[in-house]
Amino acid sequence: MSESALDGLVDALRRLPGVGLKSAQRMAFHLLQHDRDGAMRLSLALSGAVTRMRHCRRCHTFTEAEICSTCLDTERDPRLLCVVETPADQAALERSGSFKGLYFVLMGRLSPLDGVGTGDIGAAALLERACDGVVSEVILATSFTAEGEVTAHALSEALKARGLKVTRLARGVPVGSELEYVDLGTIAHALVDRR
């Protein structure tokens, strides 16, 4: 493996999240030996995405247009704004089919240990977006992890200070789970928030 184009490919693959040296070597070998079409397709997909994908001016998600199709959808209720961490989280909510408002995608979450502050997750853009005079309720749908909770807390404070109604996704027992196997924290929250 001492040839430069191959080394360059292995190095570039190693920059992908979750890919170490061995995986990168295996990927490079697979692409060159068994899937050169796939390699060229990936090459074009990468350059195409980098060139064409930008952030929606309203909700900050990835889009090829100035404003994404979700934000332009007039069927949606513009009074509800749901804040998520990533486009994948937004997709998960959309799959549930139970939300018909608009979104704001943070493209990250607060993570002081990694040096990710409010400036990095577009908090200012969210405040501006939420204070458009139409939005009446902001639903914080960040993850229920330590970092997601910190993010939700910080955003909640800032949004409430501007007089907006702020809600959070309900915590509780997941659908389809047996109580015996649910963790204590979840059970405690489900008890407190019982209805």
Determine contact, residues 29/35, Cβ cutoff 8 Å.
Answer: no
Tell me how long the chain is.
195
Residue 176 Rama label (left phi>0; alpha psi -120 to 50; beta): left
# chain residues binding its own copies, by CB under 8 A: 56
Nearest distance from C-beta of residue 142 to its own copies, angstroms: 15
> Which residues in the 127-156 window bind its own copies by CB under 8 A?
none
Query: In 10 A of CB 32, how many CB atoms?
Result: 13
Determine contact, residues 165/136, Cβ cutoff 8 Å.
Answer: yes
Q: Which is nearer to its own copies, 15 or 194 (CB)?
A: 15
Q: Which stretch binds its own copies (CB under 8 A): 3-11, 137-145, 153-161, 177-185?
A: 3-11
Instruction: Decide: is 26 part of the binding site for its own copies (CB under 8 A).
Output: yes
> Which residues in the 34-93 window bind its own copies by CB under 8 A?
35-36, 38-50, 52-53, 62-64, 68-70, 86-88, 90-91
54-55 and 62-63 beta bridge pairing: antiparallel
Using CB atoms within 10 Å of the CB of residue 113, give its burial: 0 to 12 exposed, 13 to 18 middle, 19+ buried. Answer: exposed
Q: Which is nearer to its own copies, 45 or 124 (CB)?
A: 45
**Interface positions with its own copies (CB under 8 A):** 1-6, 8-9, 11-13, 15-18, 22-23, 25-33, 35-36, 38-50, 52-53, 62-64, 68-70, 86-88, 90-91, 107-108
